[in-house]
Amino acid sequence: MTFPKMTRIARYRHGALGASDHSGRYHEPGLARHWSTIDCSMTAKHLLIVAHAPSPNTEAMRDAVLRGARDEDIDGVEVRAVAPLAAVADDVLWAHAIILGTSENFGYMSGALKDFFDRIYYPCLERTPGLPYAMYIRAGNDGTGARRSIERIVGGLRWRSVHEPVMCVGPFAPSCCQACHTLGMTIAAGLEAEIFGLRH
């Protein structure tokens, strides 16, 4: 996917607001609001990464997503990465888009990501329809069980896929991190360019 070269409107907004420090830390929990009610013409966009990283390879994939999302050419997008067991419904309500990362465990998403969904599902069900999401999966085999299990739950939440799942299967290869880097950059750039059709 390619994006038109951005105007500097986003840079202007970012500078004018001075709200995003690109640290990935969310400093104003009291301001967490329903994502679809935020006036996107006035605020930074928020990208949430909820990634289970139980091994060096999955840590490298999560870090590649983060690096891509925080690319220096992308303006006005605040990125926050949270482990699934630490993520809460307010994190999701804060987000304008979400990237989910997991290993495949026993033919399913990781228990940690499942626990995340168990806790956020009902608090978010009526408040995040249409939330743009993407996922990446690390699996020794084919990863389809993990993918299906996530698709089933986000289908219930009525989240909207905006990127083909990144499947890193079989032996680990550098291309896994490259694909994750591209994923993070693509979703962040899409938020910057407002191509996901955020409601105003």
Residue 105 — φ and ψ, nearest 5°?
-125, 120
58 binding ligand FMN? (CB under 6 A): yes
Token readout for 38 is: 């935020």
Residue indicated by tokens 């994939």: 61
Which H or E element spans position 116? helix 111-125
- For residues 36 and 57, which CB has a smaller minimum distance to ligand FMN in the complex? 57
Q: How far is it, in rounded angstroms, from Cα 94 to Cα 145?
A: 29
Considering only the stretches 22-30, 51-59, 124-132, 152-160, report the one whose residues sit in contact with ligand FMN under the rule CB under 6 A.
Answer: 51-59
* β pairing state of 77-82 and 45-51: parallel
- For residues 41 and 55, which CB has a smaller minimum distance to ligand FMN in the complex? 55
149 binding ligand FMN? (CB under 6 A): no
User: Least Å distance between CB 104 and ligand FMN?
Assistant: 4
Considering only the stretches 81-89, 122-130, 134-142, 189-197, report the one whose residues sit in contact with ligand FMN under the rule CB under 6 A.
Answer: 134-142
The angle formed by the CA atoms of residues 145, 147 and 151, to the nearest 5 degrees, is 120
Q: Which of 23, 37, 41, 141 binds ligand FMN (CB under 6 A)?
A: 141
- For residues 125 and 173, which CB has a smaller minimum distance to ligand FMN in the complex? 173
Compose the 107-126 pattern: x for residues touching ligand FMN by CB under 6 A, - for all others: x-------------------
Q: Which of 4, 106, 174, 175 binds ligand FMN (CB under 6 A)?
A: 106
User: Least Å distance between CB 55 and ligand FMN?
Assistant: 3
- For residues 76 and 143, which CB has a smaller minimum distance to ligand FMN in the complex? 143
DSSP state of 127: T
DSSP secondary structure of 10-74 = HHHHHHHH----SSS----GGG---GGGS-TTTS-EEEEEEE---SHHHHHHHHHHHHHHT-TT-
The three-class DSSP label of residue 94 is helix
Compose the 14-33 pattern: x for residues touching ligand FMN by CB under 6 A, - for all others: --------------------
Considering only the stretches 64-72, 75-83, 99-107, 184-192, report the one whose residues sit in contact with ligand FMN under the rule CB under 6 A.
Answer: 99-107
